Amino acid sequence: MSVKVVGLGSVAMDVIVQVNALPQVDGFSIARSQVVLDGGSAANVMAQVAKFGVTSGHIAQIGDDDLGKHLLKGLKKFGIDTSRIVVKPEGVSLQTFIPVDPQGEKMIFVNLGNCFLDLTPDQVDPEYISGAKVFYTDLLPPKPAIEGARIAKEAGAKVVFNLQMGLSMMEEMDIALDDIYALLKYVDVFAPCREAFFAMTKEDDPEKALRKFSSEYPIQTILTLGSKGVMTLVGGETVQVPAYEVDVVDTTGAGDSFIGAFTVAYFIEGLNMKRSLEVASAAAALKCTKLGARSMPTRDEVDEFLKKAEPLKP
């Protein structure tokens, strides 16, 4: 099966617990509800791509445990092609535990299992990647992600790299800074989290960080700024799009919805950068109004929202 967007990266089961408040060190909080939902950042991005009506496929390794079986069903439910998912015998699939407070703020605890990071480059089908228009990855795991990006670039596909976690967390998964820079050689759009980006640039001002990084790596870098929206540079000029006002229920997956919507708007629909960021910001805002990482909007819902959307007040 040929798909337009291929993702390689995390796929997980999310245990989301709505709590009265996020606990302090050695503190308590009250669990008001608990729900088990499909997640994993890269898989969520493919879900948003599919919700926008674009064919997507995912590459990852899961276990043959009950979690893995549930994850496969969840991907198929969204119409995501799972033909390149590797199932490890006696494997334990990736799982996350996510407490969410009444304002939608969260913490994420990760149980890596024993198979997710063991995917190897020889388990990646080059023809599957080279047949796509866009290759997306969160660098998890690094060697097949870098190899996938190389294959995509040589085939003329666009490469999107979403660095979801800070450098210290990446190091916990044995992913070095050198791996990040090795992948960046093939990247067209880089969307790092602020923590990682500020550490990489040694700047804590978004615009200064973008300009410093772009002077060394002339790729399109998009920096999301939470309630302050999103910022990038186009032709040396700053482009900033605000976040939108919504009643927040759960922010889990908002960044995934953002980059999935952006990927479709920019690379598949061919919209300009500013409009693509507006579409992406609207998708992320709408996702935040519902519980669960894959409670994502359709393209029509985003268009309807943008007709009356109000910028979030600082």
Do β-strands 189-192 and 5-8 pair in parallel, antiparallel, or remain unpaired? unpaired
> Is 60 within the bounds of a domain?
yes
What pLDDT is recorded for position 181?
97
In a domain, 311, yes or no: no
Torsions phi, psi of 308, nearest 5?
-130, 10
Is 28 domain-assigned? Answer: no
pLDDT at position 314? 62
For residue 188, is it within any domain?
yes
Q: Which of 113, 118, 55, 44 is nearest to 83 (CA)?
A: 55
Please give the tally of structural domains in the chain.
1
Regions of the chain with pLDDT less than 50: none
What pLDDT was estimated at residue 296?
A: 97
pLDDT tens digits along 95-106: 989 898 998 888
Give residue for tokens 């913490």. Answer: 107
Please indicate, yes or no, if residue 270 is contained in any of the structural domains. Answer: yes
Domain span including residue 148: 5-23+33-305
- How far are the Cα atoms of 219, 223, 234 from residue 239, in angstroms, in the given order? 15, 11, 7
Residue 234 lies in a domain: yes
pTM: 0.93
CATH number reported for the structural domain that contains residue 116 in this entry: 3.40.1190.20
Query: Is 180 a member of any domain?
Result: yes
Q: Single out the residue of 77, 60, 84 nearest to residue 8, CA to CA.
A: 60
> Which residues does 275 contact at the CB level (< 8 Å), separation at least 6?
265
In a domain, 312, yes or no: no
